[in-house]
Amino acid sequence: MPVKTPFKNPLLLFSVGIIFLFTLVVFFATETSYSAIEQLSVWVRNYFGYFYLYLGLGCVLFLLGIALSPIGRIRLGKVGSRPEHSLWAWTSMLYSAGMGAGILLRAVQEPVFMQQHPPYASDLAPETLALEFTFYQWGFTAWAFYGLFAMVVGYALFVKKKKVLVSSTIDTTITNKLARKGIDIMTIITTVFGLIAAIGLGTAQINGGLNHLFEQQFGLGMTLLLATLISGIAFYSAWQGVNKGIKIISKFNIIITLIILSFVFLTSDIIAILVSFLNATYHYIIDFIPLSVAWGDYDPGMEFLTDWTFYYWAFWLAWAPFTGIFIARISKGRTLRQLLLGVLLIPSLGTFFWFSVFGTSAFQLIESWGSYQGEFSDVFSSIFVFFEQYPLAAVWNAVTILLLISFLVTSVDSAVFVLSMFTDNGKKEPNKKHRLLWSVFILLATMALLVLGNVKPDIDVLTAVQKLLVITSLPFALFMMVMTLIFLQSVRIKS
C-alpha cells in the first residue's frame, strides 16, 4: 500500500503547517512572541495551578483505585498472553522516555536548592525536607499523568483494537471528525515543542559540561553539532524500531545510570544515604495528600509553587500524551494492574534513590566545606562540579556527557516513533518514511530554535519553549478528565 504524501495526509499537513507558521511568527516577531508566551504561561499557572495540583492528586488516587479493583485484571491483549517485553526492558524503555536526562540535570542542583531555600517551615531537618519535596516533584504524580494516558490508550489499542491515536480513546462518544482531528493535531504539536525543548536543554547542558571541563566557551557550532548527532542517532534507533533500536539504547542507558549511581553510592556515606532515602520516602508517603494540595503548613506560597510545582506539573502534563502512548505501545500483554503499579512505583522509587544518593552526598560536601558559595546552583554544570570532588572525575564527567546524549536519543526516538504512528494512520509499526520525515523535521526545528537564540541573545528562547509547554498542557489537562470519564463508561467487567 503506497504511503500517503503530505498533501494526501491532512493530519501531517496541518500539523507541520501550524508548526511552520508558528516558527515564522516567532522568528519575525521574536520580542512580541516571547512577551505573549511569558504572560500567557504566567496566567495559566496563576489561574490553573491549583487545578493542576488537584488533578495530579486525583490521577494518583484514581490509578491506584483502578489497579486494585477488578478492572485491574484486564489484560492488554489476548487473555493469557505474556508481556511482549521483559520487566527489565519495559522499565528501561519507559524510564528513558519519561525522565531520562532530567535526572542528570537536577541530580545535585535541585536537592541543594531545596536545602538552601526550604519550601516551607518544618520540624524536619532541612536535608530531609529538601529530599521529600524533590521526591514530590519527580514522583508519583508525574508518573500518574503518564500512566493515565498509557492505560486509556493501551485499552483502546489492545482491547478495543483501535488505532494508535489519542482521538481513538474518545471516538465512541465524540463522533465529530473535525474535533477528533483537532485533538490529534494538538497532541502532535505539543509533542514537537516538547522535543525541541528537550533537545535544546539537553544540548545546553552538554555544552555547559564541555565548557566547564575544557575551560573554554564552545559556540553555536558545537550546539548545532550536538543536536545533529542526537537527532541522527535517534533517527537510526527509530528506523530500527522498538526491538532493534529503542529497546537496546534504553537498556544501555539504565546500565550506565546504575554504574554511575553505584559509584557515588559506594564511595559516599552509605549509611547516611540509606537513612536519608528511608526518612524522606516515609515522610513523602505520609505527607503526600497535604503536599499535593498545598494544604496548611505544607503550602510553600504562590511564588514558590508558580516557579516550581505548577511548572513541573504543567511540564509532565505536556509530555504525558506522547510518553503515555509510547508506554502503552510497549505494554502489550500486561494487565492494567501490572501497568499502573509498575509505572507508579518502579520509576518513582528508582528516582527517589537517585536523588538520595546525589543529594545526601552533596549535603555532606557542603558541610565539609564549612560554607556554600553557590557551587551547585548552575543547573547545567552542577553535576560536573559534583564529580570533581570524587576520584576519576574526568572519567565520570565524560560518562555523564555520554549518558546525557544517550538519554536524549531515547526521548527523541520514542517521540519520533509515536509521531510516525500518528501520521501513518495510527499504525503500531509506522512506515519508515514517516520516521525519516519526523526525524528531519525535528532536527531542522531544533536548529532553527538554537540559531534564533544565538541571533537574539537577549531573549531566552529555550525558556520560552518550555513556557509554551505550560500553555499547551492546559487543553490536555481538561481533555484528560473527559477521556477518563469515557474510559470508565467503556470498561465492561463480567461479574
User: Residue 1: what pLDDT?
Assistant: 43
Give the Å distances, CA to CA, from 399 to 94, 218, 248, 259, 349: 22, 19, 18, 10, 23
Residue 494: per-residue pLDDT = 42
Q: What pLDDT sits at residue 492?
A: 66
What is residue 69's three-state secondary structure? Answer: coil
Query: What would the DSSP string read from start to end of 115-184?
Result: HHS-SS--SS-HHHHHHHHHHHHHSHHHHHHHHHHHHHHHIIIIIS---SSGGGGTTTT---HHHHHHHH
Sequence length of the chain is: 495
For 35-58, b/e burial (b = at least 16 CB within 10 A) is: eebeeebeebbeebbeebbebbbb
Residue matched to cell numbers 497535604: 290
Single-letter amino acid, residue 64:
L
76 CB-near residues (< 8 Å, 6+ apart): 154, 155, 157, 158, 159, 328, 331, 332, 333, 334, 335, 336, 339
Average pLDDT, the chain: 87
Integer distance in angstroms from the first to the last C-alpha of the chain?
43
Q: For residue 8, what is the DSSP state?
A: G
Tell me which residues of the chain have a pLDDT lower than 70.
Answer: 1-8, 458-459, 461-462, 492-495
What is the Cα–Cα distance from 320 to 316, expressed in whole angstroms? 6
Give the pLDDT of residue 92.
Answer: 87
Give the pLDDT confidence score for residue 484 in this predicted structure: 92
What gap in Å lies between CA 283 and CA 249, rounded to an integer?
35
Q: What is the DSSP-derived secondary structure letter of residue 101?
A: T
Three cell numbers, residue 32: 512580541
Q: What is the reported pLDDT for 168? A: 85
Q: C-alpha grid cell for residue 57? A: 492528586
Question: What sign for the dihedral angle of Cα 108, 112, 118, 123?
Answer: positive
| Tens digits of residue pLDDT in 228-283 | 998 898 888 888 877 777 888 888 888 999 999 999 999 999 999 999 999 999 99
pLDDT at 262: 96
Residues 480, 488: Cα–Cα separation, whole Å: 12
C-alpha cell at 368: 565539609
Strand intervals (E) in 314-377: none
pLDDT at 212: 77
Q: Alpha-carbon torsion 166, 170, 172, 175, what sign?
A: negative
CA distances to 37, 93, 197, 447 from 221, in Å: 27, 31, 18, 10
The answer to whether the beta carbons of residues 494 and 60 sit under 8 Å apart is no
Query: What pLDDT is stored for residue 392 in this prediction?
Result: 92
Distance of alpha carbon 73 from alpha carbon 220, whole angstroms: 52
In the prediction, which pLDDT does 6 show?
A: 46
